A = this chain, B = another copy of it.
Amino acid sequence: MQEILGSKTKKPGLDPGTLVHVGARRAEKTTITILDYDEHRYEEKEAQTVEECFAFKGRPTVTWINIGGVHQVDIIEKIGNHFGVHPLLLEDILHTAQRPKLEDFYNYLYIVLKLLRRNEANDEIDVEQMSLVLGDNFVITFQETSGDIFEVVRDRVRNNKGRTRKMGADYLAYSLIDTIVDNYFISLEQLGEDIEDLEEELVMDPTKGTLQKIHAAKRDMLTIRRSVWPLREVISGLQRGESTLFKKGTLVYLRDVYDHTIQVIDTVEAFRDMVSGMMDIYLSGISNKLNEVMKVLTIISTIFMPLTFVTGVYGMNFAFMPPKDQSWGFYASLSVMAAVVGAMLVFFRRKKWI
């Protein structure tokens, strides 16, 4: 439920723009990491106070400030005010139940994204909100935890691999979005494995637990869909090139990440079709089991009821009841019973029940 409603819904009645952190507190302490680079040099710094970031504003180099943890309202507020971010956006950054969205404030872009991570404890997918503010030559990212998902991007900067150092802040923003979408494929792969296991379980030995697993897979898909569908609109918006912050050379990369998003959506929809088919198979499996139980009952009843009747007949106490007193009578009755059993077995074989 938390996944859907956000941890706590906004307290109604607060003045719009009032900064309150809404969501689970996931990090102990807010970490501030600064990465400043151009093609020729780079500087990396773990800031102790938020004020250390301020110096990087207005530099010609690309500056990436990553805030890990959004529960300390004053930090968010200070950095937001210094970089000129609208108070309503700061409110959104602090409120971790946003949908992925894009807001264009002409001289900067505000993008909300969702990170997905399989929670090992309960096998559900955890959703973490990331806000990204892209300015002319800076990127500020706000994560709920100081997770290491962007380490791969940092490595590329540090080691000057690929194009990152040669290009501007927009390419950095693209790289971060690309990393997030790439991560969705990991969630999809895990989900795919779950579904494959489920299919086998369904054919082999469906139990009550199977139904719950189907339900859990459905939920995971719901979670992914809720993150990806709006993301598609966000990237589609970026890729149309309406903002001047994304330069023309970066647009082709956005088209690439857009394709990946479509691919994620496509895969989720295919999974959906498969899982909804599973439900049918599960239900018909229950019915089939019932049929089998009933067949056993019917076979047993149909064989023993006539037999019991025969024994009943000769269990009656009539004085005159041939061939009660013949020495072959007992064996004759047993033969009759054997014949009844035989006839029944033929009957069931014909009905293909045994």
Question: A: which residues have CB within 8 A of B?
Answer: 1, 4-5, 9-10, 12-13, 15-18, 86, 88, 91-92, 97-99, 101, 103, 152-153, 156, 161-164, 175, 178-179, 182-183, 185-186, 188-189, 192-193, 195-196, 203, 208, 211-212, 215, 218-219, 222, 226, 252-253, 255-256, 259, 262-263, 266-267, 270-271, 273-274, 277, 279-284, 286-291, 293-298, 300-302, 304-309, 311-322, 324-327, 329-330, 333-334, 353
Cα A99 to Cα B261 in complex, Å, equals 11
Residues in B with CB closer than 8 Å to A279 are 280
Cβ–Cβ contact B302 & A13, under 8 A: no
Cβ–Cβ contact B289 & A291, under 8 A: yes
Contact of A5 among B188, B259, B298, B301 (CB under 8 A): B188
Cβ–Cβ contact B222 & A281, under 8 A: no
Residues in B with CB closer than 8 Å to A218 are 273, 277
Cα A270 to Cα B5 in complex, Å, equals 10
Cβ–Cβ contact B284 & A286, under 8 A: yes
Q: Is the interface of A mostly helix, strand, loop or mixed?
A: helix
Residues in B with CB closer than 8 Å to A12 are 152, 179, 182-183, 185-186
Cβ–Cβ contact A99 & B263, under 8 A: yes
- 3 smallest CB-CB distances across A and B, nearest first, come from A311-B312, A15-B162, A13-B152
Cβ distance A171 to chain B, nearest Cβ, rounded Å: 9
